[in-house]
Structure 1
């Protein structure tokens, strides 16, 4: 019986041993270990004295923003002590790389260079990118984005001459009051922390950068910052093993190269009370033996109070080595540390063989990162090579993917039916207009208010009074710190105001702070819409605004719990892409360098050669605005720079932007027929030579109509003065039509224009001949069919719904003159500079309201209408025009007659004619749009889902300035767009 028990016990032990061995085999061993006995490592080991070998285990702090004395101090440590590496802190990339090159040149053995770059180089270096903190990354559902981040961060770090990133943080942050980890953690869910940590680690290590998971065995459940004191964690072993250590075990199995040990007092793991950095039980007993970690074990900084309190410099470093660490970070007293470790060997506290094993590890890392064949990098162009368009785009992708919607009552997000909304925004904790508010105003008119964090009750009352005029409030809750701390510095009146707004039906909040601080705002969870961005940056503000209006969507999930208000994993999906998205060219498969370089160059050339004083250019691809810029000045002799919200005279682009969409809508409703003639809608034309000419021919400019009639010339006497019975200097009931400040037209003159059109001769041959005559009549036709005022009709059915608030007639009625770009100095008719009124003489004689000219807009608002066309009639989740209608109207109607025109829309010439063509060479035959006499170009290409707007005032000071045409600026820029599209 005893023999049976013995055999059974033996069998069980053998089985367990085999199982443990199988589990051990499943672990991915760090790649660098393959070099521990390489020829290069052997050769270095043979050259190193015992003290020099100890020095390989030491990494000192270096800075690239300090004086030459600091550099000499580091060089002395390299020359005299033969240290193994440096960890860089604050500075800039150029200086850091230059210093690292110098340090490498001085070192007997290549130096291992490290940095704390948890969220990229921006954590330490000026002029570099800060990616989202890990709390925000924890909200992302697509882990491949975190892997991509790892690859990119590795590329940037290596470009600065370094080889090791002390990241990722894989502490499970389950204490909202944690002062040191908090937003640096992926969250409170151990599986999510593990997945994100592995993705980040793999990205970096696949790009040949060593990583170090931190802070073992878990710094997430502390309320003490180990930089200033030693935190104590009192959880039992079972809890620590199943929760805090879980991510470390997962990353070890996945092949993490390094693990950083924290400064913690954990009685359940080591009852002696020593910091975990100095604990052999934790480092050797658990990390090495139990978890089987064979990679590089690094201390947290050895200058932190959590480990230095009560311990002498040098002695504490020796104790860290005895505990099982391989690499000492931030050793304060290098000579003494080397001396103390030397004594430890002499005293038999550690063997030379054990030390040599660790030295070989570090040398193996150096070979794995390529230091066995070190070549100095040049700092030339380093900023450009770090801050690439791809790197910047990745930042936007990560922020967008992290956006988390916690409340969306009645699907308030994204906002729809803009024509029914009067919107105000309040930036809480801001003293001036925020990036959030600027981005909100890209979509429609939003009245902006700001309320400081410490605002008084009276200041709050003033804002509340103003809000009574609005039916939707968008609140931005901002942070006052560089880091998203778990703090709330708002005054009680401000907090009460936020709670009051959150209780109302139509309030949306965007929260730019640490999610934990949500628990310090009563009632915020009651808001109709609540967007969480995790931190406060220009990018988070911009994308949060775009989310609210549907430029982007959201599918982030909260990575931590917030009291009883929200739980880890909360989050709602919100659909985006219903309106324009404002982004970078790479988001639409375009090359930033080609696009920006080409467009800027051509526009600057046009301005330099005085083809136009300035202008606006907007480019969108796939519904994404990838270029939106203002160039130059209002006038050649001016100091007023063009702004992106300045308003331009659209000239003949009015033809496709006013009556044409109205006619298409009426056509969809069966109220307007292309085969009908003018007389069917304006009986006045029944007996004219234009009766029975179908609108299809008229709008395709094949109706034999005269190109234009210079009506204004008939209002002048031979000496050039105005006829007294046609004009007066002051307005009256008989002279109500304003032509200029001191020129008012007789009320019946519009009838003379109609009569002139009616009686005008027809061309002999029915062929393509551009004519603007019918466009004077179209507003009246729309009114006749719809029964509504023309301006009211197009405003209510198009512009207001689109949020195109600057698009419209007679801009001086709504905007300051300073926002309107001037056009020509009219020496012949109005005899003064034209500023704020339509340039076209015929349109101004129609009171500024015509379909041939008269519309004003900025590029952004015109883009909304053009994007609706490009979407084949849909925008903002609403259909304006039927798809089949737009397809028909944007198709060439009479190509057999050598006519390239659509119905109202211009089209590319049937054959490309080089520089004399109306489009770029690569514009597709499906493309359509229109040009304007004042220097406007509005074009869309369905084949490439491409939108292009060029707004200028090339007629200043005179229409005789044709340099814009001679330079082919507009179509040359259009070609750049196609060149920038990457296959």
Structure 2
């Protein structure tokens, strides 16, 4: 096995595996061959737990971030970040000090630079853990929702996000997304995905969910979420439905505040609970809690993550979920506003969760749980119950037998042409046409050969061909148009708007990307000024489809539900007439002048 970044990942030899896993097989009292043949039932897992120290048990319940592309030799900047935030230099030191049971990958932590590097990092983490006394494989996780949340970028296959899949309304597409994405994550050593988002997005002002949800119809969300779960888990990756008990009706982002969901118990049962019930019925491996208050479910004022009535009473006892329960990040304000960082992990475990995700200070959290057991607030049998669930999952995923990945596995799986073509096919079924005055679409290269592509350019996803205007222009040029770009941003100034109007004079039509347009937004002014030139203006809402209500002057309007390359290329194909628009709104669009009335209902969408 080579260090990260060499591009030459290979599985360790049998001798290396046996040496690294000696603590595991000794604790199980099995030879590697008989362990593999007999499987890992609860009796063996309980035996393993009984031989662990209290410190090791506590560590196994944490899933932690760590900076760096390598488990042992990260860049100096990442060493500095690790020392500042965690008190260790490397992932290997993190494991040795705290014996964490899980690690979460982030692109901003420089964990996901390239496929071979990710695989090397995963192998390095596993080796570091198995080299410890009684060492256990690490459950490596990430947020690969696709669409606007994807931690692993190109050349891995990137799919349309959840609301786009909702617009396509195909459960087979959702399952194929999970199957392909799961296969690629598994090849990289990532065995738990914090996806799908099972929230029912019924609030257009929701700042944190929005297009991460499949839509506003609970039955449709349930069917797509369950299908995606089956796809991921058929590929050997644990799916994780989130954010229980339902984060779809809030105007507060739990990263920065403490949302309150005012649904009655009856409304919760027929709206928010439906997708989670479906995910559990589909055999979901894990469910993530939300840092939200739901007074109808627990009147204590505690966030759901810390609520025993919600986690144990409803999720486990009423809904019957006996798999892993993982918290949302413990660094989010929604879970920190009421209690200190030393109390949060203890209260979460008392509520019934199993995995404690990404605390702001691992040292504080780890010592708090350790102290709570020693003081009697938490019992060791309570830790053992969560440990058993986590180990059952690791055993199910095959991690206890073979945690390694190989370069050959990466090369035959990640970003292969077959997967990329599947992503394009799925995207072609999601683009939604909402306005098409005078049948301007599809655009003809004969009558509208010169295009100006302007508008918002939110931060590009990892591995993108560039900002949305650049990706759209490239795609339209490849389809036979002559497209020029002008990035006007999400808040264009008067001077920028004037520049766009001038540039439109040299074009036959304008394609403009919009991003969460409001009534007072200068993007609205930009579109209005461009329409006043008399040139056809085709708007593409590159995030929320609600933009169309604020754009009465456009000649045509499409919803792509994200600004990822795969969705923008699909929108370009619709504009050029290479594919017909087939997407239908998975959420209603309220009127701009009266949000209580619908401009377009669920299921609306034009074609040609």
Give the alignment's TM-score, normalised by structure 2.
0.78
Question: What is the SS of the residue equivalent to 2:400?
Answer: helix
Cα deviation, 1:83-117, whole Å, max 9, x if unaligned, reads 21211212324333323322222321111111111
The within-5 A match list for 1:211-250 is 211-250=239-278
* Cα deviation 1:699-721 (Å, max 9, x = unaligned): xxxxxxxxxxxxxxxxxxxxxxx
| C-alpha displacement of 1:264 | 0.7
Q: Secondary structure at the match of 1:476?
A: strand
Query: How far apart are residue 38 of structure 1 and its match?
Result: 3.6
Q: Shift in Å at residue 376 of structure 1?
A: 2.6
Q: Is contact 1:150–1:200 with CA below 8 Å preserved after alignment?
A: yes
Q: 1:929-976: CA deviations, max 9, x gaps?
A: xxxxxxxxxxxxxxxxxxxxxxxxxxxxxxxxxxxxxxxxxxxxxxxx
Task: Name the SS of the counterpart of 1:428 in structure 2.
Answer: strand
Cα-to-partner distance string for 1:807-851 (whole Å, 9 max, x where unaligned): xxxxxxxxxxxxxxxxxxxxxxxxxxxxxxxxxxxxxxxxxxxxx
Cα 1:215/1:541, change in 2 over 3 Å: closer
Specify the alignment match of 2:13 in structure 1.
none
What is the alpha-carbon distance in structure 2 between the residues aligned to residue 430 and residue 116 of structure 1?
Answer: 25
User: 2:493, 2:286 → 1: CA distance?
Assistant: 45
1:47 to partner: Cα distance: 2.0
Distance in structure 2 (CA, Å) of the matches to 1:145 and 1:204: 12
Q: Check the 8 A contact 2:148/2:161 in 1, yes or no.
A: no
Matched, 1:96 2:100: no
Structure 1 equivalent of residue 224 of structure 2:
196
1:50 equivalent in alignment to 2:54: yes
- CA displacement 1:274-324 (0-9 Å, x = unmatched): 111111111111111121211111111111111123433332111100011
Cα deviations across residues 414-451 of structure 1 (Å, max 9, x unaligned)?
457x76x3555332327998443454455666676758
Residues 915-926 of structure 1: matches in 2 within 5 Å?
Answer: none
Q: Are residues 1:395 and 2:423 paired?
A: yes
Q: Does 1:567 align with 2:574?
A: no
In structure 2, how many angstroms separate the alpha carbons of the residues matched to 1:150 and 1:175?
26
Write out per-residue CA displacement over residues 658-678 of structure 1, whole angstroms, 9 at most, x where no aligned residue.
xxxxxxxxxxxxxxxxxxxxx
2:214 to 186, 191, 200: 186
Once the 2 structures are TM-superposed, how far is the Cα of residue 43 of structure 1 from its aligned partner? 3.8
Q: 1 CA distance for matches of 2:486 and 2:90?
A: 49
Q: How many residues align?
A: 525
**Aligned twin of 1:428:** 454
CA-CA distance at 1:253 after TM superposition: 1.8
The answer for the alignment partner of 1:495 in structure 2 is: 527
Q: 1:311 to 1:547 in 2, by over 3 A?
A: same
Q: 1:89 to 1:411 in 2, by over 3 A?
A: same
Residue 126 of structure 1: CA displacement? 4.8
The aligned runs of 1:146-545 (5 Å cut-off) are 146-345=174-373, 348-379=376-407, 382=410, 385-408=413-436, 412-414=440-442, 421=447, 423-429=449-455, 434-441=470-477, 450=486, 452=488, 453-454=492-493, 456=495, 458-459=498-499, 462=502, 474-479=509-514, 485=516, 490=522, 493-498=525-530, 500=532, 508-524=538-554, 527=555, 529-545=556-572
Structure 1 gap segments, 5+ residues each:
1-33, 468-472, 575-983
For 2:140, the equivalent position in structure 1 comes to 113
Q: How does 1:536-615 map to 2 (within 5 A)?
A: 536-564=563-591, 565-574=599-608
- Provide closer, same or farther for how the CA distance between residues 137 and 303 of structure 1 changes in structure 2, counting only shifts above 3 A: same
> What is the root-mean-square deviation in Å for CA atoms of aligned residues?
3.2
Q: Is the 8 A contact 2:186 2:235 kept in 1?
A: no
Contact 2:147/2:162 (CA < 8 Å) preserved in 1? no
Q: Where has structure 1 moved over 6 Å in runs of 4 or more? A: 430-433
Taking the aligned partners of 2:516 and 2:411, their CA distance within structure 1 comes to 30
Higher relative contact order (CA 8 A, sep 6+): 2
Give, in angstroms, the shift of residue 395 of structure 1: 2.1
Q: Is the 8 A contact 1:402 1:555 kept in 2?
A: yes
Corresponding residue for residue 67 of structure 1: 75
8 Å contact kept, 2:189–2:403: no
Q: Secondary structure at the match of 1:118?
A: strand
- Give the C-alpha shift of residue 216 in structure 1: 0.5
Q: Give the match for residue 829 of structure 1.
A: none
Structure 1 residue 461: Cα displacement = 5.6
CA distance in 2, matches of 1:44, 1:225: 40
Deviations 1:570-628 (A, max 9, x none): 11244xxxxxxxxxxxxxxxxxxxxxxxxxxxxxxxxxxxxxxxxxxxxxxxxxxxxxx
Task: Rate the CA distance shift 1:291–1:134 in 2: closer, same or farther, 3 A.
Answer: same
Q: Give the Å deviation of 1:151.
A: 0.8
Q: Kindly state the Cα deviation for residue 61 of structure 1 after the two structures are TM-superposed.
A: 1.2
Normalising by structure 1, what TM-score?
A: 0.50
In structure 2, do the counterparts of structure 1 residues 509 and 493 end up closer, same or farther at CA, with 3 Å as the change threshold?
A: closer
